[in-house]
A and B are shown apart, each in its own frame.
Chain A
Amino acid sequence: MGCESLPEGCIATILSRTTPRDTCILSLVSRTFYSASQSDAVWASFLPSDYISIFSRSVSHSSFLASSPSNKSIYLALSHRPIIIDHATMSFHLERKSGKRCYMLAARALTIIWGDGNTPHYWKWTTLPDSRFPEVAQLVNVCWLEIHGVINTSPLTPNTHYAAYFVFKMIDPEGLRYPVRLSVDISFRQSTVKEVYLYPNLDGWHVDNRMRGLQLPNVRSDGWLEIEMREFFNSGLVDDEVHMSITGTEGSWKRGLVIEGIEVRPKEAN
């Protein structure tokens, strides 16, 4: 019984209920699995339903679909590197292994106090070769550091644990040896506030009680620093507004912080 092998269509249906990563790994099972693993039907289930509109919101990829690529190629394009959309105020990509949706709000999409471009002696807009965006915000000199960003949860993948990350770097920093406050509000219902350091390590610092145990940023694979602001669960049932802010008002003049943006991506399952 059951010696005959399953037809390819059936294998494709099974693969489409796994993940992109499983599908690629299981293409190694046999030639029939490989053939099923390449099918448009399987990859259609991993593509976001609005991928056509995402391409149309991008300048660099606006004609990507013109050559009628396979669904797998579309998936790989969306997960290869972030696609810059909405007049370079946001980036979009799929986390390659799971197909879950990731967004980054560019510095241009954030509200930066004293950073509206009218006071370049406080904040200036500049270009960095390792930024995904055409512009980043560089802190020239302020006492009052305050940044806000808002993202809606409806474009995120449902049933997924997400986290928001502040993405930045330090270029000749000064005056930033004080903790900054990260606060996240979800539709003004659940708010969290925490103090963190924006310095990646405190080597050579005098560590007092208040500084001990504060969260520090990590270095990302793209060379930027990031610090987790908060994690949250997106059920997909309600469209929440996630309000995020970074505030540093201790000490006096601060300089040298460069802002890439705020990224919202799935929190890795441990």
Chain B
Amino acid sequence: MAKTPEPKRTISLKPCDGDVIEVSPMIAKQMQTIQSFIEDDSFIATTTIIPLPNVTAFQLSKIIDYLNYHSNSKAVADNVKESTKKFDEEFLKELEHDKLKELLHAANYLNVKEVLDFLCQAVADLIQDKSVKFVRKFFGVVNDYSVEEEEDIRRTHAWAFEGVEED
């Protein structure tokens, strides 16, 4: 039976620093921010290009890679679990701290739960057992406490600071 030509089925995303990237509706659906675009009445899949001023081409393609891999490997068999683990490890290995942090921003902006969960876990593993100073530097956060406030927090959570060296 002859197939009727299908209308364009992909969603066009335009990162801030590169060419348009086409993604399947399956993938786009997992990005809540894109999903709300698509649900808008004025959205026409054939012509509309969704601009993503906060996301680079690198970040967008990493996120798409992750979603693609994971949507294809939902099985629970041990060998699949094993290769998924390997994929996740490789995925993170390619990311330096800054890139990881920026990807987290991008995933947060696009609101992709699966990637966000994965990256939050990766960051949590990185900052666990680390000093306040390390974590400030990691997130590029400045200390906005007064000396008294800091003292106060240390006092109320004295049990947590036991055996922790001061920065």
Q: How far is it, in angstroms, between the C-alpha of A21 and the C-alpha of B153 when the chains are bound?
A: 13
Q: Does B83 contact A (CB under 8 A)?
A: no
**Which residues 139-158 of B have a CB within 8 angstroms of A?**
139-145, 150, 153-154, 157
On chain B, which size bracket covers the interface?
Answer: 35 or more
Q: Select from chain A the residue with minimum beta-carbon distance to B59.
A: A1
State whether B141 touches A18 (Cβ < 8 A). Answer: no
Q: Select from chain B the residue with minimum beta-carbon distance to A10.
A: B108
Q: How far is it, in angstroms, between the C-alpha of A28 and the C-alpha of B127 when the chains are bound?
A: 13
**Which residues 20-79 of A have a CB within 8 angstroms of B?**
20-22, 24-34
State whether A28 touches B121 (Cβ < 8 A). Answer: no
Q: Which residues of A contact B150 (CB under 8 A)?
A: 28
Known: A6-B108, A10-B116, A13-B120. A28 touches B153 (CB 8 A): yes
State whether B120 touches A17 (Cβ < 8 A). Answer: yes
Interfacial residues, chain A to chain B (CB-CB below 8 A): 1-7, 10, 13-22, 24-34, 96-97
Known: A14-B124, A14-B127, A25-B161. A30 touches B144 (CB 8 A): yes
Q: Does B92 contact A (CB under 8 A)?
A: no
Q: Select from chain B the residue with minimum beta-carbon distance to A76.
A: B159
CB distance from B18 to the nearest CB of A (A): 14
Q: How far is it, in angstroms, between the C-alpha of A167 and the C-alpha of B106 when the chains are bound?
A: 53
State whether B140 touches A18 (Cβ < 8 A). Answer: no
Q: Which residues of B contact A13 (CB under 8 A)?
A: 116-117, 120
Known: A28-B150, A30-B142, A30-B144. A2 touches B157 (CB 8 A): no
State whether A6 touches B105 (Cβ < 8 A). Answer: yes
11 more A-B residue pairs beyond the given contacts A5-B140, A29-B135, A30-B145, with a C-beta to C-beta distance below 8 A: A2-B140, A4-B105, A6-B139, A18-B124, A24-B159, A30-B136, A30-B141, A30-B144, A32-B141, A33-B135, A96-B159
State whether A1 touches B102 (Cβ < 8 A). Answer: yes
Residue in B116, B124, B140, B153 whose CB lies within 8 Å of A34: B153
